[in-house]
Structure 1
Amino acid sequence: MRFEGVVVDGCVTGNEALTLRGCLFRRVLLRGEVGDWIVNDMRRELPDVEYQAFLDAAKKFYASGEWVLDISEAEFGSAALFSLPGDLVRRNPETQFLVRKECLVDVDLSSFSRVMRLRLKRVGRSIFDSAVLVVGHGSDRFNEDLAEHRKLVDLGVAEA
């Protein structure tokens, strides 16, 4: 499914995250309180040929370099946006951080939380060169999570 030229102004996701698999985005604006979002590629259970065809099509789709998602005005409860090219996501540098895969090489991440290490590992597995990590406004650990993301910036792993 492809979302193009869409504006989402507030979105209640309830107790479950809105999970979008195999979707492509171009000029999609999210703003306001948008709940919990997970954007993933197609399921790995697909035959290898089909899965690879999707990945190739996604790379080609995003190769135009046009912005894909603007989350700069969005407040997420939580978000996992690993299947989007981070460079093409418009973001709020206060709570949304760009991580480039090349910056993860030879960096000691042992002082970070297990959750952060898992998220960074997921960035490293992305088909894209970068991804955006979002500090969820709905987290009871908002201040701790924000500090951990800022520590990534201090290490040169992320960009604010």
Structure 2
Amino acid sequence: MTDAIEGSSFERLRQYGSGRVFSDLDLRRVKFTSSVLAQHDDPSFGLVVRDSILQNCSFSACTMAGVRLENVTVDGAKLSKSSISGCVFRNVTLRGKIGQFIFAGPVRSLGAEMFAAFSDGMADFYRDVDWALDIRDAVFADATIRAVPGELVRRDENRHFLLRRADRDTVLSLPDAPDLAKAYFRDFDLTPFDSMVAVASQGSKTFEKQLAELQWLRERSLAG
């Protein structure tokens, strides 16, 4: 049975710890403020959100960390001062107008041993994933997708560019490489994966500049 919630607001909602599954959610125009969905001690990602849709929801000062998302659609979202760290994705679709999305690696404050365990757990998870994210119909205000294997992202090749770690040193050594291109390749120091997708954010005022700088890489066979 689907749990439908429309037009509600939640403040300081806290869900900590693994071993929980949230499924069959239909959230429409729901507002979350200063809320947390996170776990920091289970690199097998037993905190799960699946089979759900979020439409035109907003998140202010929210945190999501160590979560596995499967068969989830986000159709329009507003984010402000929110973070997504060390999460994994299977068949997650982002579409419509999306705010600032940063998919980062494991939380940096984890101890070295647990940080390595989460990094390994992310790599293990993606070994049997057919596709992780579909961003073809998303219009981002800003987006950084550094902690998802680039090959597993369904993308619009006119706006989304596949980068590979193997080209990192080449790009960083080029004196005429655009600043944005270099910034993306430096991000390989922050991800366990050997590829990522760079996004020219269509909803940004600097979209044309972003697009030109990423196309510079493609013209030199340094982006796919």
- Tell me the residue number matched to 1:122: 187
The C-alpha deviation readout for 1:4-63, integer Å capped at 9, x for no partner, is 0001111122xx254211111000001111111001112222111110110111000001
- Match for residue 135 of structure 1? 200
User: Is the contact made by 2:96 and 2:139 (CA closer than 8 Å) also made in structure 1?
Assistant: yes
In 2, the alpha carbon distance for the partners of 1:40 and 1:83 equals: 5
Q: CA deviation at 1:119?
A: 1.8
Partner of 2:174: 109
Distance 1:26 1:17 in 2: 25
| Structure 2 counterpart of 1:41 | 105
Measured in 1, the distance between the counterparts of 2:174 and 2:191 equals: 18
Secondary structure, in 3 states, of the residue corresponding to 1:10?
A: strand
Secondary structure, in 3 states, of the residue corresponding to 2:128? coil
Once residues 81 and 156 of structure 2 are traced to their aligned partners in structure 1, the CA distance between those partners, rounded to angstroms, is 21
Which structure: greater strand fraction? 2
In the alignment, what sits opposite 2:133? 69
Q: Which of 78, 83, 87 is the aligned partner of 1:12?
A: 78
Change (3 A) 1:81 1:17: farther
Structure 2 gaps, min length 5: 1-66
Name which of structure 1's ranges 115-124 and 27-36 shifts more when overlaid on structure 2. 115-124
Aligned-pair distance for 1:143? 1.2
Identity among equivalent pairs (%): 34
Q: Of the two, which has the highest radius of gyration?
A: 2
State the partner residue of 1:53. 117
Q: Which consecutive unaligned segments of at least 5 residues does structure 1 have?
A: none
> TM-score, length-normalised on structure 1?
0.90
CA distance in 2, matches of 1:71, 1:144: 20
Q: Which has the higher contact order (CA 8 A, sep 6+)?
A: 1
Q: How many angstroms apart in 2 are the aligned matches of 1:123 and 1:112?
A: 16
How many residues in Structure 1 have an aligned counterpart in Structure 2?
157
CA separation of 1:88 and 1:61: change in aligned 2, threshold 3 A: same
The residue number in structure 2 matching 1:96 is 160
CA–CA separation in structure 1 for the residues paired with 2:175 and 2:185:
12
Query: Which has the larger helix fraction?
Result: 1
Q: RMSD over aligned Cα, in angstroms? A: 1.6
- For the 8 Å contact 2:142–2:204, the answer to whether it is kept is yes
Compute the TM-score of the two structures, normalised by the length of structure 2: 0.66
